[in-house]
Chains A and B, each alone.
Chain A
Amino acid sequence: MSGEGQGDIIIARGLNKSFPGPVQALADFSVTVRRGEVLVIVGPSGSGKSTFLRCLNGLEEVDSGTIVVDGIPLDENERHRLEIRREVGMVFQSFNLFPHLSVLENISLAQRLVRGKSRARAREFSMELLARVGLRDKAGSYPAELSGGQQQRVAIARALAMMPRVMLFDEATSALDPEMIGEVLDVMRQLADDGMTMVVVTHEMGFAREVSDRILFMEQGRVIEEGTPEQFFNSPVRERTRAFLRQIL
């Protein structure tokens, strides 16, 4: 289920990032993710969780620090950035499906453009992925015709189509109506069971407790506390963590 000593897939060291404004998004932030591990990052809003995810695949640039993903350094080299993006799938809070393309085209596009697959092979794999997220019958639909939960499941399938080594989830259920959160979390749980390396920013503490291998609590761009779900929920060390848990549980 979890990674057994196959090494680290994400190594982030000493990341700093600030936006205009008083708070620093990342302050000397370091983290390592093992292959097959499910790392959940929690923390109050504005604590830098999303910024960290967005730095991992180069959507944001760090001010200083080093990021290495699957042995590829994220640096000035544009080719490295593209390579990392191919290996890292991302799921957004607001789905960001391509509205002018059908569900099937949404999932097939990058397979054909980036992986150079034929239309037929891309289609075949896309249908397989749609079956996995339980939306095989929606291949011909357009995003606007789907519910939020369905859209997010398509977005997960779209990211999986690149056969990524790591999946990043940026508050993937925060924009969903309560009754749709479950179906998306189920897909994510399935992925974790299949051994996918995942970095998940979420407010779903149930998911964090059940699925994660490790929880990281972040505030003001720093790691406040880090541990297994049992340690984190049952015996947090830092007072700040206890205050946070009291607020949300």
Chain B
Amino acid sequence: MHRRPGKNIASSFDVIKYLLTLGGLAWLIGRGSEQLGYSWHWHRIPGYILTVSHGHWQAGPLLEGLMVTLEVSAASLVLAALIGLVTALLRLSGSLVGRVLAVIYLETIRNTPLLVQIFFLYFVMAPILDLSRFTAAVLALAFFEGAYASEIFRAGIVSVARGQWEAAYSLGLSNYATYRHIILPQAVRLVLPPLTSQAISLVKDSALVSTIAVYDLTMQGRAIVAETFLVFEVWFTLAAIYLLLAFMLSLLVRLVERLLAGRGQPAWSVQ
């Protein structure tokens, strides 16, 4: 590997530009809030995250909300992956009924707003099926993200080379065994990066469940704002927490990718 001599200078110049932009932004916000006569109370924020009482750590509302956000996200992530995979397999199946069902599901989900889907599940389906708030939230998110995940899975499956199917079939493997042992292990590795960004989308979209009063991070934030008028501080903090969450998620997946990437690369389709 050869390093270009100008590279270090160029990248340190980039850092300076970046810091200048950040500084400018901070100055703008500071000046704006001064003109509004906003009085900052940053010292009150840590108390909403973590408090110490009687020598014990106690989670503040924001941390509790974060836990709920993580629960909702994790549950709907698992469900979305499952729905996505099943839908992808249905779309690729020989069954006409399966394909039509999959397409109807995909088109419905992708052409209606997530907010409407959440309301529909919570206000219409939940009373009929006796679902809890939490369940309605998880289902709405799972069905929404599952539609996108299924397209990702489908792309992964069709991009595995045809020869892999033929080799598996010629050994007498059944359709199921071929998918399970040959095609899906390769397809999943191919689609791990786009699947990650879908997972990050899911975490961010989960903020919408606050609209049906699930006490997630966003809902807790709204509650604190309503009580204390710490508008700027709370929303800054919330944004930072979501940012951190997304960052950690992509870090995690990069780690998994590196573990998988060592040996045995998938067979890419040449088409």
Majority DSSP secondary structure for residues of B touching A: helix
Judge if A96 is at the interface, Cβ distance under 8 Å: yes
Report A49-93 residues with CB < 8 Å from chain B CB. Answer: 57-59, 82, 85-86, 88-90, 92
Judge if A142 is at the interface, Cβ distance under 8 Å: yes
Judge if B39 is at the interface, Cβ distance under 8 Å: no
Q: Assess whether A144 is in contact with B264, with CB atoms less than 8 Å apart.
A: yes
Judge if A172 is at the interface, Cβ distance under 8 Å: no
Judge if A120 is at the interface, Cβ distance under 8 Å: no
Given the interface pairs A96-B164, A98-B182, the reply to whether A88 lies near B264 with Cβ below 8 Å is: no
Judge if B99 is at the interface, Cβ distance under 8 Å: no
Judge if A134 is at the interface, Cβ distance under 8 Å: no
The residue in chain B whose Cβ has the minimal distance to the Cβ of A83 is: B172
Contacts of B163 in A (CB 8 A): 92, 94, 96
Contacts of B167 in A (CB 8 A): 90, 92, 96-98, 155, 158
Of A106-114, A191-199, A237-245, the one contacting chain B is A106-114
Given the interface pairs A86-B172, A159-B171, the reply to whether A96 lies near B166 with Cβ below 8 Å is: yes
Q: Assess whether B177 is in contact with A113, with CB atoms less than 8 Å apart.
A: yes
Contacts of B171 in A (CB 8 A): 85, 89, 109-110, 114, 158-159, 162
Contacts of B185 in A (CB 8 A): 100
The residue in chain A whose Cβ has the minimal distance to the Cβ of B185 is: A100
The A/B interface has a contact count, at CB < 8 Å, of 75
Minimum distance in angstroms from A76 CB to a CB of chain B: 14
Query: What is the bound-complex CA distance between A85 and B174, given in angstroms?
Result: 10
Q: Assess whether A159 is in contact with B170, with CB atoms less than 8 Å apart.
A: yes
Q: Assess whether A109 is in contact with B174, with CB atoms less than 8 Å apart.
A: no
Q: Mark B153-168, 1 if CB is under 8 A from A, else 0.
A: 0000000010110111
* Contact for B263 among A89, A142, A159, CB less than 8 A: A142
Contacts of B169 in A (CB 8 A): 57-59, 85
Query: What is the bound-complex CA distance between A60 and B185, given in angstroms?
Result: 25
Q: Assess whether A109 is in contact with B181, with CB atoms less than 8 Å apart.
A: yes
Judge if A7 is at the interface, Cβ distance under 8 Å: no
* Contact for A101 among B161, B172, B264, CB less than 8 A: B264
Contacts of B177 in A (CB 8 A): 113-114
The residue in chain B whose Cβ has the minimal distance to the Cβ of A87 is: B172
Q: Assess whether A100 is in contact with B264, with CB atoms less than 8 Å apart.
A: yes
Judge if A99 is at the interface, Cβ distance under 8 Å: yes
Q: Assess whether A82 is in contact with B172, with CB atoms less than 8 Å apart.
A: yes
Interface centre among B171, B181, B266, B267 (most CB of A within 10 A): B171
Contacts of A113 in B (CB 8 A): 173, 177, 181
Contacts of A96 in B (CB 8 A): 161, 163-164, 166-167, 267
Q: Mark B198-231, 1 if CB is under 8 A from A, else 0.
A: 0000000000000000000000000000000000
* A–B pairs, 18, beta carbons within 8 Å: A57-B170, A58-B169, A82-B174, A89-B170, A89-B171, A92-B163, A96-B161, A96-B163, A96-B164, A98-B168, A99-B266, A100-B186, A102-B264, A109-B173, A109-B181, A110-B172, A114-B171, A114-B172
Interface residues of B (CB under 8 A from A): 161, 163-164, 166-174, 177, 181-182, 185-186, 189, 263-267
Interface residues of A (CB under 8 A from B): 57-59, 82, 85-86, 88-90, 92, 94, 96-102, 109-110, 113-114, 142-145, 155, 158-159, 162
A99-B266, A113-B177, A144-B264 known, 13 other contacts, Cβ within 8 Å:
A58-B169, A85-B169, A86-B172, A89-B171, A92-B167, A96-B161, A96-B163, A98-B267, A99-B267, A113-B181, A114-B177, A142-B264, A162-B172
